[in-house]
């Protein structure tokens, strides 16, 4: 499922291959992908326009067009953006295709159709309507803001980090990786977290996301010291002699080490 790093790669694809080019036409191949806009409205809004700016907020991607509105993309379970030059390269599950006068094409593909293509008056309108929290990579989202938002929640560490109204863009896989790096149990109640943990959590969040973006950009594997390639019950922990366990938190499969992820517990890691 695309999380923030995958959507950031889509933002870069859009920026590299589509900005500054004039749109010749827009083809909607499956109208089920559209949200609150018809195929003809989408075509009319974009044809003859240029895309001027690509902006990401959490898992949402926005492109400002020269008609002074925004294209809004959400990637659901299997969404992706693909740029190509030859029509024959069109992805199998392309749902919307933008053709540019330059001969380039940009396809929004989505095999399972849980993503959405829409128009928006502004990113701020979407953020406000969906009550999205700050983007974790926004420079203005500092340690103090992070600490205030997370410590003000009830529930467990993992459910707080997953809540899009707390922080926009963190999802199941990367939250497990972040929590793993801080040696904390994913089900630790927020009120049990020591205040010194917040600095570690904040750093782990930023580092995990930035590293993941770099790895995706290079099409590289996750390094061996990550939890991500070991999401399997009974796997060996890459950091200690412990064992990786699978539990369900908030309905989501959650993996953690049964030995070193004990920070905040009596007798646990320090
Ligand atoms: Zn371990």
In this structure, are residues 128 and 143 in contact, taking their beta carbons and an 8 Å threshold? no
The model's pLDDT over 194-221, given as tens digits with 9 standing for 90+, comes to 999 999 999 999 999 999 999 999 999 9
Distance 182 CA to ligand 1 centre (A): 11
Q: What pLDDT was estimated at residue 264?
A: 64
Closest CA to 100 of 7, 20, 44: 20
Eight-class DSSP state of 82: E
Q: What pLDDT was estimated at residue 266?
A: 62
The model's pLDDT over 27-37, given as tens digits with 9 standing for 90+, comes to 999 999 999 99
| Structure confidence at residue 250 as a pLDDT band (50, 70, 90) | confident
Distance 180 CA to ligand 1 centre (A): 8
Query: CA-to-CA distance for 169 and 153, rounded, in angstroms?
Result: 17
Residues taking part in catalysis:
2-3, 59, 252
Distance 259 CA to ligand 1 centre (A): 5
Closest CA to 47 of 66, 72, 73, 24: 24
The model's pLDDT over 91-131, given as tens digits with 9 standing for 90+, comes to 999 999 999 999 999 999 999 999 999 999 999 999 999 99
Return the bridge partners of 120, or none. 70
Q: What pLDDT was estimated at residue 263?
A: 77
The mean-pLDDT minimum among 10-24, 171-185, 251-265 falls in: 251-265
Distance 258 CA to ligand 1 centre (A): 7
| Structure confidence at residue 270 as a pLDDT band (50, 70, 90) | low
Q: What is the mean pLDDT of residues 219-243?
A: 97
The model's pLDDT over 44-63, given as tens digits with 9 standing for 90+, comes to 999 999 999 999 999 999 99
Distance 247 CA to ligand 1 centre (A): 16
Eight-class DSSP state of 68: T
Ligand 1 (ion): which residues have CB within 5 A?
237, 239-240, 242, 257, 259-260
| Structure confidence at residue 187 as a pLDDT band (50, 70, 90) | very high
Distance 235 CA to ligand 1 centre (A): 10
Distance 184 CA to ligand 1 centre (A): 10
């Amino acid at each position: 499922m695309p999380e923030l790093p995958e959507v950031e790669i889509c933002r870069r694809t859009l920026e590299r291959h589509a900005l500054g080019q004039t749109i010749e036409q827009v083809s909607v191949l499956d109208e089920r992908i559209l949200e609150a806009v018809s195929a003809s409205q989408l075509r009319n809004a974009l044809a003859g326009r240029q895309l001027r700016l690509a902006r990401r907020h959490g898992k949402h991607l926005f492109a400002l067009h020269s008609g002074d509105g925004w294209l809004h993309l959400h990637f659901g379970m299997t969404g992706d953006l693909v740029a190509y030059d030859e029509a024959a390269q069109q992805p199998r599950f392309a749902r919307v295709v933008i053709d540019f006068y330059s001969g380039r094409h940009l396809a929004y593909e989505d095999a399972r159709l849980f993503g959405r293509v829409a128009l928006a008056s502004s990113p701020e309108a979407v953020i406000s309507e969906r009550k999205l929290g700050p983007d974790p990579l926004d420079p203005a989202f500092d340690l103090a803001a992070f600490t205030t938002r997370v410590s003000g929640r009830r529930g467990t560490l993992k459910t707080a980090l997953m809540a899009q109204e707390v922080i926009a863009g963190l999802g199941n896989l990367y939250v497990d990786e972040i929590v793993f790096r801080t040696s904390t149990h994913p089900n630790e109640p927020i009120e049990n977290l020591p205040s010194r943990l917040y600095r570690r959590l904040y750093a782990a969040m930023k580092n995990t996301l930035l590293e993941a973006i770099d790895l995706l950009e290079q099409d590289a594997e996750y390094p061996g010291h990550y939890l991500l390639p070991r999401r399997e019950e009974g796997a060996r922990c890459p950091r200690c002699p412990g064992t990786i366990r699978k539990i369900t938190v908030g309905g989501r499969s959650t993996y953690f080490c049964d030995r070193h992820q004990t920070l905040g517990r009596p007798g646990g890691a320090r």
